[in-house]
Amino acid sequence: MTLAEPVQITRLVTEALEGLGIPYLVGGSLASSLHGTPRATQDADLVVDLKAHHVREFVKALGSAFHVDANLIREAIRDRSSFNVIHLATMFKVDLFMLKDDPLSQTEMVRRERYQISEDPKQVLFVASAEDTILWKLQWFQIGGEVSDRQWSDVIGVCRVQKGRLDVAYLEWGAQQIGVSDLLNQAFQETGIVVEGGKGRHEY
């Protein structure tokens, strides 16, 4: 499956979210492919601020194109966890993670960026910033025992492609929030990113 197909399938889900006014962002490997080095992915990750009163209309909006379980959505909302929907024609899976209340998660949603995926018709996705993509990839790398070459390659790919444009001060702050400062420094060293001072374009 090429990168274009996962993006278009993800767009079907985000259209349903947008139609209901539900804030979301694309994260994970799809975000790192858009910001860094593209690679094939078997699923997409979204962070969503989905509420219980949205469930019925969200399921309806996805229609018959997806396998979706309303009860699992309600459980995910209650537990602040995640659920998935599966595109039946391709079996491509979209994982939806509930937006959490911690400072980094809330800031990530504020910092999301519009990413245009087609010109005619004009289509956009809200995607996690390059900085936030790096931070959460580092956390998943850490959670996985720091052995995933794929996760680390995604981090390095974003750092290299976005080098010179990254908000280093924000990255350092975010890394402190989730305990990945050492890993961030390793990524900086591997890609030649200078950390002194940062750019400081945001208040945290």
CATH of the domain at 85: 3.30.460
How far apart are the C-alpha atoms of 114 and 68, rounded to whole Å? Answer: 26
- pTM, full prediction: 0.90
Query: pLDDT tens, 182-195?
Result: 999 999 999 999 87
Assigned domain for 197 exists: no
Amino acid sitting at position 38: P
pLDDT at 117: 82
> Do 97 and 147 share a structural domain?
no
> Do 78 and 163 share a structural domain?
no
> Do 181 and 123 share a structural domain?
no
For residue 197, name the pLDDT band (cuts at 50, 70, 90).
low
The whole domain housing 164 covers: 130-191
Query: pLDDT tens, 104-128?
Result: 999 999 999 999 888 777 889 999 9
| Strand ranges in the chain using DSSP code E only, listed in sequence order | 24-27, 43-48, 66-67, 82-87, 92-98, 113-118, 123-127
State the total domains in the chain: 2
Assigned domain for 149 exists: yes
> Do 150 and 88 share a structural domain?
no
Q: Are strands 92-98 and 43-48 parallel, antiparallel or unpaired?
A: parallel
- The residue out of 79, 98, 127 marking a domain boundary is 127
pLDDT at 143: 94
> Do 60 and 110 share a structural domain?
yes
Higher pLDDT, 197 or 17: 17
> Do 179 and 109 share a structural domain?
no
For residue 150, name the pLDDT band (cuts at 50, 70, 90).
very high
Residue 89: both structure tokens together: 């024609």
Assigned domain for 26 exists: yes
Q: Are strands 66-67 and 82-87 parallel, antiparallel or unpaired?
A: antiparallel
> Do 16 and 98 share a structural domain?
yes
Residue 125: both structure tokens together: 């996705």
- The residue out of 89, 111, 127 marking a domain boundary is 127
> Do 117 and 151 share a structural domain?
no
Higher pLDDT, 194 or 97: 97
Query: Three-class SS string for 149-182?
Result: HHHHHHHHHHHHHHCCCCCHHHHHHHHHHHCCHH
- Beta-ladder partners of 114: 126
Assigned domain for 199 exists: no
For residue 73, name the pLDDT band (cuts at 50, 70, 90).
very high
- The residue out of 81, 101, 127 marking a domain boundary is 127
Assigned domain for 202 exists: no
Judged by DSSP in three states, 70 sits in helix
For residues 131 and 174, the answer to whether their CB atoms sit within 8 Å is yes
Residue 9: both structure tokens together: 């399938």
Residue 192: both structure tokens together: 């030649």
